[in-house]
Amino acid sequence: MFKVYIKKKDYAGGIVREEIKNENNAKIWKLSSNENILGPSPLAQKAIKRSLDNIHEYDFRDDHLLKNAICETSPTLTSENLITANSGIEVLEMITRGFLSPGLECIISHPTFVAYENIIENEGGKVVNIPLNSKNYTIDVDSILNAINDATRLIFITNPNNPTGTYTDKRKIDYLIDNLPKHVIVVYDEVYFHFANASDFPRAFDYIKDNKNVIGIHSFSKAYGLAGIRLGYGISTSKIISYLENIKRPFMINTLSMVAGINALKDTEHLEKTVDLIRTEKEWLYQEFRKLNVKYWPTQTNFIFIEPKIKLKDFINEILVQGIMIRGCDKFGAPNGARITIGNRKVNSALVKAISNIYNSA
């Protein structure tokens, strides 16, 4: 009666403040979930407040206004290239539901986003792990191509990568996509693309406009500061999007999420402030980390991946004692790594001081 491959996995996000013992009521800085340090878009907040009186109504019969707002930020897109959902994860779930079944395979590359395996296996799919290059955490294109067989349907690529913040350049992604068989789709998770400033960073639409089998994943949780709203979208060819729309249920996105997303997209000032802050602060953190001899990887995201010089569990516990929450990456496939959200200068200074205290006492 039951599908035996549907099992609850131990995936969980980072801990929240309410889970921490804080007997002295000290300030806790949350640098564990890659949230926007500036908070949500002010225009989105105002739109939510204006809409509260109407939440008893089915205010939006479809998502065309949200799609139009997305297209305004990227004139090369059309609504036929878009599918909206309650978060990027829900787009991933529609993709695996549409393209995987028992016996079919999906390639991923550890260390990577923890939820992928759960989403794949809940459709009966087989996870094939082709690890990232251990030195620079970029994808191993040749090994991925060699792993493809008749059962392969999807390849998940996270670019920039979560949890390492690194990226795979356009030349490598071009080579991968140009050499794929026609039955394989690349799921290109680019939810952190706003923060990427590398000149050779590739975007999903670079391939979609050429009618390649690519689906880009986007989220409002990071640069737009709407993690609690749960809103995302996918971009692809009109043929793939039309197929995925058959899976999507009606009245999928609630009124408050819809108006928040539309108005966050209009709030270019908030987006620019967010991106500028991250790009400035990551350079400052690089400088401070070098002074402390912290092993880190340059990032194209709003977080930095480090490998502390003491045991990971001890490092996380000791930095939490000093009021800072970070994310251990053992469940991502990086047993010695920690992911740290980039904050403002006040928060980052507290972070550097905490690491200095730990390293000086080690």
Q: What is the pLDDT of residues 33-49, one digit of tens each?
A: 999 999 999 999 999 99
Q: How far apart are CA 87 and CA 79, in angstroms?
A: 18
pLDDT at 21 over 60: no
At 321, the pLDDT band (50, 70, 90 cuts) reads very high
Q: At what angle do helices 255-266 and 42-51 cross, to 10 degrees?
A: 150
17-40+269-361 maps to which CATH number?
Answer: 3.90.1150.10
- The first and second tokens of residue 225, run together, are 């500061």
pLDDT at 59 over 80: no
pLDDT at 22 over 60: no
* Over residues 109-121, mean pLDDT: 97
Pairing of strands 82-85, 324-325: unpaired
Q: How far apart are CA 307 and CA 288, in angstroms?
A: 15
pLDDT at 13 over 70: no
| Sheet arrangement for strand 303-307 | 295-297, 303-307, 338-341, 327-328
Instruction: Spell out the SS3 assignment of the chain.
Output: CCCCCCCCCCCCCCCCHHHCCCCCCCCCEECCCCCCCCCCCHHHHHHHHHHHHHCCCCCCCCCHHHHHHHHHHCCCCCHHHEEEECCHHHHHHHHHHHHCCCCCEEEECCCCCCHHHHHHHCCCCEEEECCCCCCCCCCCHHHHHHHCCCCEEEEEEECCCCCCCCCCCHHHHHHHHHCCCCCCEEEEECCCHHHCCCCCCCCCHHHHCCCCCEEEEEECCCCCCCCCCCCEEEECCHHHHHHHHCCCCCCCCCHHHHHHHHHHHHCHHHHHHHHHHHHHHHHHHHHHHHHHCCEEECCCCCEEEEECCCCHHHHHHHHHHCCEECEECHHHCCCCCEEEECCCHHHHHHHHHHHHHHHHHC
pLDDT over 70 percentage in the chain: 93
- The first and second tokens of residue 116, run together, are 């992928």
At 75, the pLDDT band (50, 70, 90 cuts) reads confident
Pairing of strands 232-235, 214-219: antiparallel
* Over residues 336-357, mean pLDDT: 98
Integer-rounded Cα Rg, in Å, for the chain is: 21
Alpha carbon of residue 159 to chain centroid: 9
Q: What is the pLDDT of residue 362?
A: 72
| pLDDT, the chain, mean | 94
Q: What is the pLDDT of residue 61?
A: 74
pLDDT at 24 over 60: no
* Over residues 279-292, mean pLDDT: 99
Task: Delimit the domains of the chain by residue range.
Answer: 17-40+269-361, 42-266
Q: What is the pLDDT of residue 80?
A: 97
Give the CA angle between residues 34, 154, 178 to the nearest 5°: 100
Q: How far apart are CA 233 and CA 100, in angstroms?
A: 20
Q: What is the pLDDT of residue 34?
A: 97
Q: What is the pLDDT of residue 2?
A: 62
Query: Do 92 and 118 meet the contact criterion of CB atoms below 8 Å apart?
Result: no
pLDDT at 18 over 70: no
pLDDT at 29 over 60: yes
Pairing of strands 232-235, 82-85: antiparallel
* Over residues 188-198, mean pLDDT: 98
pLDDT at 284 over 60: yes
* Over residues 155-183, mean pLDDT: 98
Cβ neighbors of 305 (< 8 A, separation 6 or more) are: 137, 163, 164, 165, 166, 296, 297, 299, 329, 334, 337, 338, 339, 340
b/e map 229-252, b = 16+ CB within 10 Å: bbbbbbbbbeebbebbeeeeeeeb
pLDDT in tens, 129-151: 999 998 999 999 999 999 999 99
pLDDT at 292 over 60: yes
pLDDT at 58 over 90: no
At 282, the pLDDT band (50, 70, 90 cuts) reads very high
Q: What is the pLDDT of residue 252?
A: 84
Higher pLDDT among residues 233 and 62, named by residue = 233
pLDDT at 358 over 80: yes
pLDDT over 90 percentage in the chain: 87
pLDDT at 209 over 80: yes
Q: Report the DSSP beta bridge partners of residue 128.
A: 107
Higher pLDDT among residues 58 and 217, named by residue = 217
At 16, the pLDDT band (50, 70, 90 cuts) reads low
Q: What is the pLDDT of residue 10?
A: 55
CATH 1.10.287.3510 corresponds to the domain 42-266? no
